[in-house]
Amino acid sequence: MWQSQNSKSQVYNYNTDPNQQQPFYPQAQQQSYNSPQNYAQQQYNSPSNNQVPHYSPQGQAIHMNQTGWTDPEDPEAKGIEFNDELIRKAFIRKVFAILSVQLSLTLGVIALFIFVPAVSHFALNNFWLFIVAIVLLFILLILLACCENLRRSSPTNYIMLFLLTACMSFMLGVTSATYSRNEVLIAVGITVVVTVGLTIFALQTKWDFTTMGGVLFVSVIILVIFGIFASIYRNNTLTLVYASIGALLFCIYLVYDIQLMMGGKHKYSISPEEYIFAALNLYIDIVNIFMYILMIIGASKN
């Protein structure tokens, strides 16, 4: 009886004493079981700290940060600036390509008017064609400037831009027919040199001309009023002053529109979807520079 009670007390002491549970094998087995689990967890967390690249099914690199996987097309990703730069460069190339086609068509029409007398005589004898071209030009300008969806929808935007370029080219051809051939060629040469020089200047300068939009717009309104006054009181000196101010103003406008197209560090920029509008702005700037230079040459010789 005493032995059985003693054994019961030993069992009771054994089951309740926590110090006697440590040397048992199950506890050691539990420690050896937890160690690989901790090690595996450390190995699993290490790619999050090192940001090991992972590749999507499309072949694009996706980097892991502390919050998880990050797609490079996400606006908050690091590569968004690089993608914007590529889009902007493609946009600039497209605008210059469209502008080159416009200027080539315009130069061809001007050459046709100054080198083929029959064409110039026909246009001058049928002045109503010039008036129709002016009306169509203003209608197309208003549509392209005010209707955003219209100038972004292809091929409607290309067709309208081609019609506008044709109207402007016809007007310049008729205007060039009233000057001598040498005067027109000199004006074309000066316009080419000025346009190339201002383009290089706009691409390289650190000055931001995109903040001058309001000043330039007010200056154009003043120039129009001054032009009406100069057309009423015709004088060579007054015409020279008017043409010089107009040429200078649209030279600044050309730099302004080029920097709007460039974007980047400039304060204001134009959307890459507005390639038709950007090409139209540059085309109108160059055309006005040519017209004012031609006016200066004609007024100085008279």
Q: What tens-digit pLDDT sequence spans the chain (302 residues)? A: 444 444 444 444 444 444 544 444 444 444 444 444 444 444 444 444 444 444 444 444 444 444 444 444 444 444 444 467 788 888 889 999 999 999 999 999 999 999 998 998 998 888 899 999 999 999 999 998 888 888 888 888 999 999 999 999 999 999 999 998 999 999 999 999 999 999 999 888 888 888 888 899 999 999 999 989 888 888 888 889 999 999 999 999 999 999 888 876 767 778 888 889 999 999 999 999 999 999 999 888 76
Residue 39 lies inside a defined structural domain of this protein: no
Residue 16 lies inside a defined structural domain of this protein: no
Q: What is the pLDDT of residue 83?
A: 63
Dig out the tokens for 270 from the structure.
């134009």
Domain assignment of residue 106, given as a range: 80-301
Residue 4 lies inside a defined structural domain of this protein: no
Residue 2 burial (10 A CB sphere; 0-12, 13-18, 19+): exposed
Residue 141 lies inside a defined structural domain of this protein: yes
CB 249 within 8 A of CB 220: yes
Q: What is the pLDDT of residue 273?
A: 83
CA distances from residue 286 to 2, 95, 99, 201, 297 in whole angstroms, order as listed: 119, 14, 10, 15, 17
Residue 263 lies inside a defined structural domain of this protein: yes
- Looking at the structure of the chain, the number of domains it has is 1
pTM for the whole thing? 0.71
Residue 207 lies inside a defined structural domain of this protein: yes
CB 50 within 8 A of CB 44: no
Residue 64 lies inside a defined structural domain of this protein: no
Q: What is the pLDDT of residue 264?
A: 65
Edge to edge, the sheet with strand 53-55 lists 53-55, 61-65, 68-70
Residue 203 lies inside a defined structural domain of this protein: yes
